[in-house]
């Protein structure tokens, strides 16, 4: 009977220490995943910013070309109305 109680007590102690190690491993894994997610978010954010800047630049160029065409068309209308 004493051996059984002693064995059970040893098993409980072993299980308790294993739980602590497992908790530590889970905590470490959670922190690693959190850091990795933050890095991915930073990378995606930079790519999005680059894409936005590129789109704004292209849009500005298209608008400038459109304005130039409108100016040319206005000049042609003025010349046509003079004739």
Residue-wise pLDDT tens digits, 3-26: 787 777 777 777 766 666 777 788
Residue-wise pLDDT tens digits, 40-83: 999 999 999 999 999 999 999 999 999 999 999 888 888 888 76
User: CA torsion, points 23, 24, 29, 31, in degrees to nearest 10?
Assistant: 110
Whole-prediction pTM = 0.51
User: Kindly report the CA angle at 47 between 46 and 49, in degrees rounded to 5?
Assistant: 65
């Amino acid at each position: 009977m004493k051996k059984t109680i002693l064995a059970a007590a040893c098993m409980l102690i072993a299980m308790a220490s294993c739980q602590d190690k497992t908790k530590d491993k889970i905590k470490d894994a959670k922190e690693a995943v959190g850091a990795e997610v933050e890095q991915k978010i930073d990378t995606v954010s930079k790519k999005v910013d680059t894409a936005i800047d590129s789109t704004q630049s292209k849009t500005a160029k298209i608008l400038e070309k459109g304005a130039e065409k409108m100016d040319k068309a206005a000049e042609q209308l003025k010349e046509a109305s003079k004739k």
